[in-house]
A and B are shown apart, each in its own frame.
Chain A
Amino acid sequence: MNLLSVDTSTEACSAALLSGGDIIERYEVAPQQHAKLVLPMIDRLMSEAELVPAQLDAVIFGRGPGSFTGVRIATALAQGIAMSVDCPVVGVSSLTAIAQGIYRTTQQRHCLALIDARMNQVYKGAYTVADESTGESVMQLVGEEAVLDPQQVRLPTGTTAAHWIAAGSGFQAYHDVLSDLIEEGLSGHAETVYPSARDILLIGKPDFESGLGVDAALAKPVYLRDNVALTEAQRNARNA
């Protein structure tokens, strides 16, 4: 099975390739450079694994939330490759990827992933690993992903703050506003954690294996923030 993954949803740009059971990855923190970096990254991974594009079984992409342009870069790239080699695509949440990265590197089983959404807001998702028995555990979303004011960020009800770690650029940007949360006694925080293609791949692989991959035309970004402009009617109402 050969799976390619990409994530360009935040300041980090990364690509990973699963081939022959091994995952290789390229990862770089390079804001605004994603469109230039990502294809060369993929190209190098493929040469390293001695694969050609037609051998790919699926493209897994970071579908957001995050930078609007960034999530579109990954989406358009997944669409272009998958359409060309006629393979399915799997979209993976960038918030889940952050949580997965925390679990992979620290074994912390409860993660509050926060990405700076600008305009004094964050993208938020709370994640928990339910079952560690399989050895390939994937973080599961608790509740819903949301874009909200940092003041509104809460841990899922009925959980103990001491079990949770907060991670991501949203925590870094709104550290002060999130102080209530910190005082509740989080077990820790990891600020400069970005989604990585390696985690995107780990999360998307079981989806692909259970047939959840979709046609290239259905590869869609998830922005969370959908009101990006006022209609003329809204502007007139506001000025009235």
Chain B
Amino acid sequence: MTSLILRTMVRLLLPLLLMFSVFLLLRGHNEPGGGFVGGLMAATGFALVSIAFGSTTARQVLRIDPLFLIGVGLLLALSSGLVTLWLNQPFLTGIWYKLSLGTFGKLELGTPLLFDIGVYLTVWGVTLTIIFALEEVG
């Protein structure tokens, strides 16, 4: 598509969408959001690029093969379960690590976050694989 408006706006929207997707991902543990919708949001950004500039450009902007994103995502999600096996807990038990940040309060990091990041990357990769494939066949 050669719409000047779309092309201009996509340049602005892509970073915004990516940032918002990370926000959704991190918000997801206790509030609406999470890895799945975050991944969709991130994919939307590149879907827009692909509509405005074509899938070749979108692939160049993404730099990574979407299939690689799927692989890494699944690996992260899987490793969040494997950590628990290592610690002699049933598979996928949530394990938390409290990090003190002084005046900023404390940060709780846990395997569910790792799992969510895995979901985020997988959904991102799957959606883009589908979108790019449709674009390149048609």
The answer on A and B forming one complex is no
Interface residues of A (CB under 8 A from B): none
Interface residues of B (CB under 8 A from A): none
